[in-house]
Structure 1
Amino acid sequence: MIRNQSMTSQMQGKIIDKVQVTPSEVRYHFRNMKKEDIPLVDPMVEYAQITVIPPIELEEENRIKARLREFKERVENGENFATLAVLYSEGPSAVNGGELGFMGRAQLDANYATAAFNLKGDRVSNVVKSEFGYHIIQVVDRRGDQINTRHILLKPKANIEAMEEAKSRLDSLANFIRKEEVTFADAAMRYSFDKNSRNSGGKVINPQTMSTKWRQQELDPDVSKILDGLKVNEISEPFKTIDDKQRTVYKIVKLIDRTEQHRANLQEDYQLLTEIYLQEKQEEAMNQWISEQQAKTYISIDRTYANCNFKFKGWQK
């Protein structure tokens, strides 16, 4: 069953991967759409951010590592790793006994992956530092190039002084930007800790669409709340939030643009219109291929299924 599904997906991929659309085709298709068929585009925002991660004291990092070494020793003395993960891990997988599911190397933090793939049997790793915090790891199962691991994650916490320092630093930076002593983009490239947005002048890319536009429901709730209170080109006060690595950080954000709900148009929504037309052409190509196969393939359908409502017509001859 799984093999058949895989072969089907591969064949569909071969067919639709050949389909392309040109800018002139997109424009022609749009101009011939009925008004009621032109999609409504949700309200969107574009924003930039500068992120500061409060520094962690060495004493706190040592405390975390010692705690994880204690958990490792307890597992080696017979305690259940998954139970300890449920009780103590600070990662979202804690409810599953720390289990992450099957993943390849590229899906894991580099340090985590190296430690996990080098483990033998059910041994527990030494303490591993990743961009999420500190871990100990145990392998659950292997499947080809993928591995299923469970882990206990502990995150070192910044002290109050470090948190206040990060907030104060961003407050000063925001004032410099408002006085036009430095641009937001230059400040982001020089001072932001977030490597994903830093090199684009702080502009935040939506990973679902790979564009700079965000629907409200796609935004982090803390960021969404702040942006709601800003005018275009206005800069927020520093605020505390959790980043995509589940770390406590401080941010300032700038609202670059806000668009209200509207009918799609070529100027603002060219990418969306391209995707819609591409999907239509891919579906046409798939239907054409199926029709061609039906014409030259012997097909016998059991009477039990003769009255079924098939997605594609023409199976019964």
Structure 2
Amino acid sequence: MIKKYIGLLSSVIVAFCCIQTVVGQNKLVDRVVATVGSSIILQSDVEMQYAQYLAQGEKPNDDMKCYLLQQLVTQKLLSQQAMIDSIEVSEAEVDDNLNRRMQVMVRQAGGKERLEEFLNRSLLQYKEEMRSSVAEQLKAQKMQQNIVTTINVTPQEVKTYFNGLNQDSLPYFNTEVEIGEIVINPELTKEEKEQFRQKAEGYRQQVLNGSDFGTVARLYSEDGSAPYGGELGFATRDSYVKEFSAMAFKLKEGEISPVFETMYGFHFLQVLQRRGEEVNVRHLLIKKKPTSASLERAKAKIDSIYDKVTQGKISFHAAASQYSDNNETKYTGGMIMNEEDHSGLIPVDRLDRETFTAIDPLEVGQYSKSFLSKDRMDNQVYKFMYLKSRVAPHKANLEQDFAKIQEAARQDKINRKLSEWFEQRKENTFIDINSDFMQCDELKLWINKDEALAAH
């Protein structure tokens, strides 16, 4: 029952894909399929979600429409309460979400032109059509976060939760490891950077000489915004790194910046429009790429650090804090955290191949040799690994798996809180489901008993 209530925001923020075209091709006559308070849900809303389900390669399944309508009902309840509680989403948040969705859709379609051809409209037009629905989804998401944000569990609650589980069906955990890393980025000299600055400057001159900025960005920019002609959408000052913000917020509308450098590479930008404390810009990025000489210097540096650590001249944790270029791990003494349960134990089957290969032959307390790898932004880096501990495969228990069980207990508490919230809203909100959907198990939660009996 709980799962049926709260399937919402783990999956309801689904990327839109081509529903207007699908609806148009099938000549669907729209109709109201549910009423939630003062809001209605249309058949086309359900079909829009179903089209995305199919676009992800899933097989046709009409039962899925029951689940999708159930998600939309919970979304309406949350967004309506968000309005009552004065929860707002900014235009910048909506734009950022829309831009991420568009990037995914462009990749799935095989390019901007192919996507626009399929949609039979420009991406900018399609984004505007989606704006109100995305804003509602983001409000619902914020409302759900507000409901559960203060929920935590005590050690006693964790123990009670664990003892209440079926001890014969406890999960079996694979080998887990505690690992650390020291990462060194190849640094370019001013002379080595110049080739990339000159490349960006060459494209800037094309624009200044009359070439269309959007076309040049689509053809040559190395940023994810290239398919949109470099346009980033409205954003606030703190949305960008400081060098980019400084340039974007000092220029006038239509003005083109000089080439400037950020951690990502060399850019130039044009301000398209200002709106209060937000600005919409388009830009072109040329990434800085390591030279063979810079890679050699990085290799020499990390090998020097490795020697100091293995010879006992400095501890691994102190070396990571002092020398590592990975800001995500240097402040934890180089240790990598499990993002799911926030513990230090990571299942080996979730490690990337390079990391697994580096730590697999190590004994606890040993260090791998340095190796060339890539960071999350796909940049080349050198690193070496430290194996702090290795936990053998085992059945879940409180002693070894407290952090995981704590997170499961917290999620269970969140689920129960959300279930209670929806039960209360259901009692105080008019909800009507079209008779065509009354056979759906997922929707029986929202149908009163008299209606349910009449449906049978």
TM-score (structure 2 length as normaliser):
0.60
- Residues 1:285 and 2:285 are matched in the alignment: no
SS at match of 1:45: strand
- Letter matched to residue 441 of structure 2: N
Aligned counterpart for 1:168 among listed residues 300, 306, 309: 300
Contact 1:52–1:192 (CA<8 Å) still a contact in 2? yes
Q: Kindly state the Cα deviation for residue 168 of structure 1 after the two structures are TM-superposed.
A: 2.4
Could you tell me which of 55, 72, 82 is aligned with 2:187? 55
- Contact 1:232–1:257 (Cα < 8 Å) also in 2: yes
Give the one of 194, 202, 209 matched to 2:334: 202
Distance 1:21 1:120, change over 3 A: same
2:363 to 215, 231, 249: 231
- Give the Å deviation of 1:258: 2.8
Per the alignment, do residues 16 and 216 of structure 1 end up closer, same or farther by CA in structure 2, a change over 3 Å counting? same
Query: Against the structure 1 CA distance between its residues 254 and 94, is the aligned structure 2 distance closer, same or farther, given a 3 Å change threshold?
Result: farther
Where does 1:65-214 land on structure 2 (aligned, <5 Å)?
Answer: 65-94=197-226, 97-100=229-232, 104-139=236-271, 149-207=281-339, 209-214=341-346
8 Å CA contact retained: 2:431, 2:446: no
Residue equivalent to 2:73: none
* Deviation readout 1:2-36 (Å, 9 max, x if unpaired): 36545544543443335432210110110121124
Superimposed CA distance per residue, residues 260-314 of structure 1 (whole angstroms, 9 cap, x where no aligned partner): 4433322232222122222222222222233334445555444444434344526
Q: Are residues 314 and 151 of structure 1, via their aligned partners in 2, closer, same or farther at CA, if it must alter by over 3 Å?
A: closer
- Alignment of 1:41 onto 2:173: yes
Amino acid at match of 1:253: M
Separation in structure 2 between the aligned mates of residue 87 and residue 227 of structure 1, nearest angstrom: 41
Q: Which amino acid aligns with 2:301?
A: R
Distance in structure 2 (CA, Å) of the matches to 1:115 and 1:36: 61
> Taking structure 1 as reference, are residues 69 and 86 closer, same or farther at Cα in structure 2, changes over 3 Å only?
same
SS in 2 for 1:48: strand
- The aligned residue for residue 375 of structure 2 is 243
SS of residue matched to 2:178: strand
- TM-score of the superposition, structure 1-length normalised? 0.82
- Residue in structure 2 matched with residue 262 of structure 1 by the alignment: 394
CA distance in 2, matches of 1:217, 1:80: 48
Aligned mates of 2:159, 2:283 — CA distance in 1 = 51
Cα displacement (A) at 1:42: 4.4
User: 1:218-239, CA deviations, whole angstroms, 9 ceiling, x for partnerless residues?
Assistant: 5454333322343322212221
293-302 or 225-234, which moves further after superposition? 293-302
**For the structure 1 residues 281 and 209, does the alpha-carbon distance in structure 2 shift closer, same or farther, using more than 3 Å as the test?**
closer
DSSP-derived class of the 1:20 partner = coil
Contact 2:177 2:387 in 1 (8 A): yes
Relative to 1, partners in 2 of residues 1:60 and 1:8: Cα closer, same or farther, differing over 3 Å?
Answer: closer
Q: 1:12 to 1:93 in 2, by over 3 A?
A: closer
Q: 1:235 to 1:82 in 2, by over 3 A?
A: farther
| 1:126 to 1:46, Cα distance in 2 relative to 1, 3 A | farther
Q: Is the 8 A contact 2:182 2:334 kept in 1?
A: yes
Q: 1:191 to 1:77 in 2, by over 3 A?
A: same
Residue 135 of structure 1: CA displacement?
Answer: 1.5
Higher relative contact order (CA 8 A, sep 6+): 1
Compare 127-136 and 104-113 and name the one that shifted more: 104-113
Distance 1:148 1:6 in 2: 21
For residues 142 and 310 of structure 1, do their structure 2 counterparts lie closer, same or farther at Cα, with a shift above 3 Å needed?
Answer: farther
* Conservation of the 8 A alpha-carbon contact between 1:60 and 1:156: no
Pair 36,48 (structure 1): closer, same or farther in 2 beyond 3 Å = same
**Structure 2: runs of 5+ lacking an equivalent:** 1-131, 451-456
Whether the 8 Å contact between 2:341 and 2:404 is mirrored in structure 1 is no
* Gap regions ≥5 residues in structure 1: none
CA contact (8 A) 1:60 1:157 kept: no
* Residue pair 2:341, 2:407 contacting (<8 A) in 1 also: no
Name the aligned partner's letter for residue 52 of structure 1: I
Contact 1:132/1:246, CA 8 A, preserved across alignment: no
Q: Between Structure 1 and Structure 2, which shows a larger proportion of helix residues?
A: 2
| Among candidates 436, 441, 445, match of residue 313 of structure 1 | 445
Cα separation, partners in 2 of 1:91 and 1:239, compared to 1, 3 Å = farther
Count the aligned residue pairs: 317
| CA–CA separation in structure 1 for the residues paired with 2:274 and 2:241 | 18
Shift of 1:86: 4.1
Residue identity in the other structure for 1:199: Y
Q: Distance in 1 between matches of 2:340 and 2:274?
A: 29
Aligned partner of 1:23 in structure 2 is 155
